Amino acid sequence: MAIDFELTESTHEARAFYHALARDQMRPISRRYDDDEHARPQEWIDHYWGHVRGAAPRGGGRPGDGFVRTCIQAEELCWGDAGLYLRMPVSALGGAAVVATGTREQRDRFLGPFAGDGPPIWGAMAITEPAAGSDSAAIQTTARLDESTQEWILDGTKIFCTCGEGASQDPGGFVVVWATVDRDAGRAGIKSFVVPAGTPGMKLVGLEKKMGIRVSDTATLVFEGCRVPADHLLGSAEVKKRKADRGFKGAMATFDASRPIVAAMAIGVGQAALDLVREILEAQGMTLRHDAPPREQTAIERDVLEMEAELQAARLLTWRAAWMMNQGLANNLEASMAKAKAGRAVTHVTQKAVELLGPEGYSTRHLVEKWMRDAKINDIYEGTQQINQLIVARRVLDYPSSVLR
């Protein structure tokens, strides 16, 4: 089946819509919320929830354009500000887990409020723990069923929860928590649970101070005797010790959907830095010669052309992974390839942009130093560079995790 990298007219329109939103609504407040870490960007939240949701052009696309368009939205809005993008009131990773693992009834119940007209709400996912980072199968948070009340009781600590403040505190929000119902069963014992905002026993104990994406509410959540109804477990409660069932596989499948989005976010930040470099070079009278032989190009021209190539390669990998997702094709390899490539590309491009602009790039006169700080997280969350390269190697070589670690 062929992949067509030409965007439809409606997707081009959506791209222009989100670019204008990034330029007009996000860029003007970007520096303020980078300086005032953890301040709630209420004007952006209200604008997105009240005026932007569902307002982008939709009709006329090819079947399967949907997820590609989602990635384009992420790229354009992160061109505006990656931290503000993460503070959009959306179901996010929590919603992805519900879609991947939950029943149709659970999807309608937990995700329905995001289509309503109430106040802004968020979804989040709680995976990482102080002693369990990249190895999600090593989590220690437990869930036990109280037979008398038919409630699951969660105990444990989760760190680095993106949107954790909004999802755990604001009415209508929810957090999807990974916990083990049977430690002896390993991965097969890991299940996902939906914990609504304000549930007794779920406590927000802190927000991370970060190098970049500083407006993003990256939270630490503690669960102490936190009770949720039995039907808040996503998927089956059965533990199949010989093979991880849909619970763990479904949770892992959320990364196949989220990694192309993170790759697109990275591309947006890198494109912002590249655009600024071009703008300043052009203002200084320099024209980039794409048709000149490398031996005739200046060092700056070669650097900028390399930056362009890196971002375009990452973009095409990302669109390929997104297209496969739309087609219902397994994209585990392609999602990790896109994430790994984009993480390295944005780190290189933003650092090179600061370098090429010299003191102006290093100062706060422009946003490029912020973009360099924002960039690095894309090489870390949703699976580090090393983890994604390991996944790619396993898929290419057809080695199981027990052989290639």
Q: Which residues are catalytic?
A: 382
Assign 364 to helix, strand or coil: coil
Other CB atoms within 10 Å distance of the CB of residue 39: 11
Q: What is the dihedral of CA 56, 59, 63, 66, to 10 degrees?
A: 10
Q: Which among 193, 195, 194, 192 is positioned nearest to 245, based on CA atoms?
A: 192
Rounded to a whole number of angstroms, the CA Rg of the chain reads: 22
Other CB atoms within 10 Å distance of the CB of residue 112: 9
Q: Which amino acid is it at 136?
A: S
Q: How many CA atoms lie within 13 A of 144 on its CB side?
A: 8
Q: State how far Cα 74 lies from the chain centre.
A: 9
Assign 190 to helix, strand or coil: strand
Q: How far is CA 19 from CA 72, 74, 87, 133, 320, in A?
A: 10, 10, 17, 34, 22
**Backbone angles phi and psi of 127, in degrees to 5:** -120, -60
Q: How many CA atoms lie within 13 A of 336 on its CB side?
A: 19
Contacts of range 293-302, beta carbons closer than 8 Å, 24 or more positions apart: 300/356
Residue 312 CA to residue 349 CA, distance in Å, equals 12
Residue 211 CA to residue 381 CA, distance in Å, equals 14
Which two structure tokens, joined as six digits, stand for 95? 């919603």
